[in-house]
Amino acid sequence: MHLEEMETIRYERADGIATITLNRPQAFNAFTPTMNQEIIKALKDATKDAAVRAIVITGQGRAFCAGEDLGGVDDETDHAAFLRERYHPMMRLIKETPKPIIAAINGTAAGAGMSLALAADFRLVKADAKLISAFMNIGLIPDSGFLYELPRLVGYAKALEIAVLGESLSGQDAYDIGLATEVFSADEWEEKVQSFSHALAQKPTKAFSLIKRYMMDGMHEAYEVMLEKEAQAQRIAGKSADHTEGLQAFKEKREAQFTGQ
Amino acid sequence: MAEHRLIKALVTEDIGVIELHRPDRLNALNRQMVAEIREQAEAFDQDETIRIIVLKGAGRSFAAGADIGEMMTETPLSMEIADPFADWDRLRQIKKPLIASVHGFVLGGGFELALHCDLIIAAETTEFGFPEIKLGVMPGAGGTQLLTHVMGRRKALEWLLLGTSMTAQEAHHFGIVNRTVADEMLEEETMRFAQALAKQPPLSVRFIKEAVHRVENIEDGLLLERKNFYLLFNSADQTEGMQAFLDKRPPSFKGE
């Protein structure tokens, strides 16, 4: 077990799972420049750490993440510059990280906090948590990859409703439209997040990384391009230790022990 | 095979592979390395058992630019006399197909070397660019001519004037690279491509390459680029740009 307290987040590692806990509960875990930087550092550490096979992002206290801390936004703010400088490097890293990233949405995910949840590979939602775009409530548009991710995840019509009409999604709503993988009640939350993450971390995570690398491309690339990407990715997976183990376990009629190699 | 210090040469059946081998410097090109590449490419060109020549980089990158320390104190006259680009001219005379198999950083002289090749296969996380302008100079080994021939004046100017890097996807979009492949598959896919080419009739290959190259007709442009490159070594901005690069600080350019 490894624990690191940074200024705005907590980084823990145990049993192959790295957990990044946004830790500004007094501000509903709203983003600050420091938090963007610390999330980047934690993701890089988790990516480099061979023992880590799944990454959980969650929030301390009642909220998951309230998005940008509006305390720092005024007439002088250049919104494009702060996206390019602070958010885009963080969002790109989430997409580039080869390990599975789970957003464990323990409470409200609003604005860029919802964008963060959308960028994750899986979303687990506490039943009483809420996802809300919120951007249009202050005359802004959803950002940080939101416009890219949401129509791909739930289809254009639903994505437009969520972005424009401003209704919040409960855990159950998120599950019903396919946005959340699971909804857990408050009393079983930590245990269920743990068991989901643990199960994911036991999978052939090398193969996972290849699916993550290419599957989103299937939403916009030509069929022929995808066939070729699949062929190359399958060649890589076919040379992995996990494939050898999977074949062996299949022949021996036992459960495979994957290592992510 | 001749002894080389900065490259390695290997042969797989009828494919000759030249590997840039200065991995601790991300294969930064210097005159010695370019001379060795040219020598080996000519040797493969003369070798009847070789049909295709592949260029690749050892370590984390294909080639991240030129050796700035080596260039720092050059003057227009010292370069005119030394004629460091003679090796590049001879590289363009190679008759067999040259395939660049690139990954990591392909910058400056490294990008020019890739553009000198007939075909480019790129790992999908490769970054290409001409950062010379940030050092107060410009590409001198064909970059302005070869890039413009591929992507057209307007896009080429954007990349050359900003000096920013382009992704492999952008390079593919503009026709700079033939294929982008999974990073892990670069070697295998390059060899698969090379083996397919090696099966084509060698005389047709040779004469098609010669005819296609004639379309570019870039010799005058190359000469102008070279003289402009030399000229910049008489400027204060070149000294400042390269010194700032070595000092790892932002440069302050004055237009002098």
CA distances for A38 relative to A9, A54, B102, B129, B177, angstroms? 7, 18, 33, 30, 36
Closest residue of B to A226, CA-based?
B181
* Confidence (pLDDT) at A74: 86
User: What are the strands, taking DSSP E only, across chain A?
Assistant: 2-5, 9-14, 17-22, 54-59, 63-65, 101-105, 108-110, 122-126, 130-132, 169-170, 182-184
Domain ranges of chain B: 7-184
Cβ distance B188 to A235 less than 8 Å, yes or no, reads yes
Q: Do A236 and B182 touch (CB under 8 A)?
A: yes
For position B125, what pLDDT does the model report? 97
Question: What pLDDT score does A172 carry?
Answer: 95
Residues of A in contact with B181 (CB under 8 A): 232
Q: Is some CB atom of chain B closer than 8 A to the CB atom of A232?
A: yes
Q: Which residues contact B3 (CB under 8 A, 6 or more apart)?
A: none
Q: What is the per-residue pLDDT for B3? A: 78
Quick check: A235 and B185 CB within 8 A?
yes
A228: nearest CA partner in chain B: B181
Q: What is the pLDDT of residue B69?
A: 81
Q: Is the CB of A235 less than 8 angstroms away from the CB of B181?
A: no
Sheet holding B166-167, edge to edge: B63-64, B105-107, B127-129, B166-167
pLDDT tens figures, A37-50? 999 999 999 999 99
A2-6, A74-78, A172-176, A253-257: least confidently modelled range: A74-78
Closest CA–CA distance from residue A11 to any residue of chain B (Å): 28
Asked if pLDDT for residue A1 goes beyond 90, the answer is no
Interface check for A40 against chain B (CB to CB < 8 A): the answer is: no
Q: What is the mean pLDDT of chain B?
A: 95
Taking CA atoms, what residue in B is nearest to A210? B182
Contacts A–B by Cβ distance under 8 A? 12
Give the pLDDT band of residue B1 (cuts 50, 70, 90): low
Distance separating alpha carbons of residues B251 and B256, to the nearest angstrom: 13
Domain edges within chain A: 2-201, 205-251
Q: Are B128 and B90 in contact (CB under 8 A)?
A: no
Rounded to an integer, the average pLDDT of B170-177 is 97
Mean pLDDT of B3-12: 93
Residues 6 or more apart in contact with residue B11 via CB below 8 angstroms: B17, B49, B50
A232: which chain B residues are within 8 Å (Cβ-Cβ)?
Answer: 181-182, 185, 189
For chain B, say whether A195 makes contact (Cβ under 8 Å).
no
CB-based contact B188 A229, cutoff 8 Å? no
Nearest alpha-carbon partner for A73 in A34, A114, A32, A108: A32
If one compares A77 and B2, the residue with the highest pLDDT of the two is: A77
Of B36, B112, B127, B225, which one is the catalytic site residue? B112
The whole-angstrom distance between B131's CA and the closest CA on chain A is 21
pLDDT digits (tens, 9 = 90+) for A161-212: 999 998 899 999 999 999 999 999 999 999 999 999 999 999 999 999 999 9
Per-residue pLDDT for B2 more than 80? no
| A230 pLDDT more than 60 | yes
Question: Rounded to two decimals, what is the model's pTM?
Answer: 0.92
**Whether B112 is catalytic:** yes
Instruction: Tell me the two tokens of residue A112.
Output: 């860029």
Res A75 pLDDT > 90: no
CATH number for the domain running over A2-201: 3.90.226.10
Is A261 within 8 Å of chain B by CB?
no
Q: What is the mean pLDDT of residues B101-118?
A: 97
Contact flag B189-A229 (C-beta cutoff 8 Å): no
| Protein fold of B7-184 | 2-enoyl-CoA Hydratase; Chain A, domain 1 (3.90.226)
Identify the residue with better confidence: A19 or A72: A19
Residue scoring higher pLDDT (B67 or A218)? A218
- Structure confidence at residue A101 as a pLDDT band (50, 70, 90): very high
Q: What residues of B are in contact with residue A235 (Cβ under 8 Å)?
A: 185, 188
Give, for B167, the enclosing helix (H) or strand (E). Answer: strand B166-167
Average pLDDT, chain A: 96
Q: What is the H or E stretch that residue B214 is in? A: helix B202-216
Q: Chain B residues with CB inside 8 Å of A236's CB?
A: 182, 184-185
Q: Which residues of B touch A (CB under 8 A)?
A: 181-182, 184-185, 188-189
A93 Cα to chain B: minimum distance (Å): 13
Task: Find tokens 């295998």 and name the residue.
Answer: B188
Q: Which residue of A has its CA nearest to B123?
A: A232
Identify all chain A residues contacting B184, using CB atoms and an 8 Å cutoff. 236
Nearest C-alpha in B relative to A235: B185
User: Residue A73: what pLDDT?
Assistant: 85
In this prediction, residues A13-38 reach a mean pLDDT of 96
Q: pLDDT digits over B17-45, tens only?
A: 999 999 999 999 999 999 999 999 999 99
Averaged pLDDT for residues A83-92: 96
Question: Is the confidence at residue A14, as pLDDT, over 90?
Answer: yes
Q: Which of B132, B187, B189, B240 is catalytic?
A: B132
B186 Cα to chain A: minimum distance (Å): 10
**pLDDT for the residue A69:** 87
**pLDDT 10s digits, A115-157:** 999 999 999 999 999 999 999 999 999 999 999 999 999 999 9
Give the residue from A101, A48, A53, A96 showing the smallest Cα distance to A242.
A53
What is the structure's pLDDT at A113?
97
B132 is catalytic: yes
3-state SS, residue A103? strand
Phi, psi of A120 (to 5 degrees): -65, 165
List, for residues B189-233, the tens digit of each pLDDT value: 999 999 999 999 999 999 999 999 999 889 999 999 999 999 999
Distance from CA of A194 to the nearest CA of B (A): 32
| Those residues with Cβ within 8 angstroms of residue A203's Cβ, 6 or more apart along the chain or in another chain | A258
Q: pLDDT over 70 for what percent of chain B?
A: 99
- Note whether A95 contacts B: Cβ–Cβ < 8 A: no
Query: Which has the higher per-residue pLDDT, B195 or B68?
Result: B195
Within 8 A by CB and 6+ apart from A240, the residues are A204, A206, A207, A261
Q: What chain A residue is nearest to B125 in terms of C-alpha separation? A: A96
Region B118-140: what's the mean pLDDT? 97
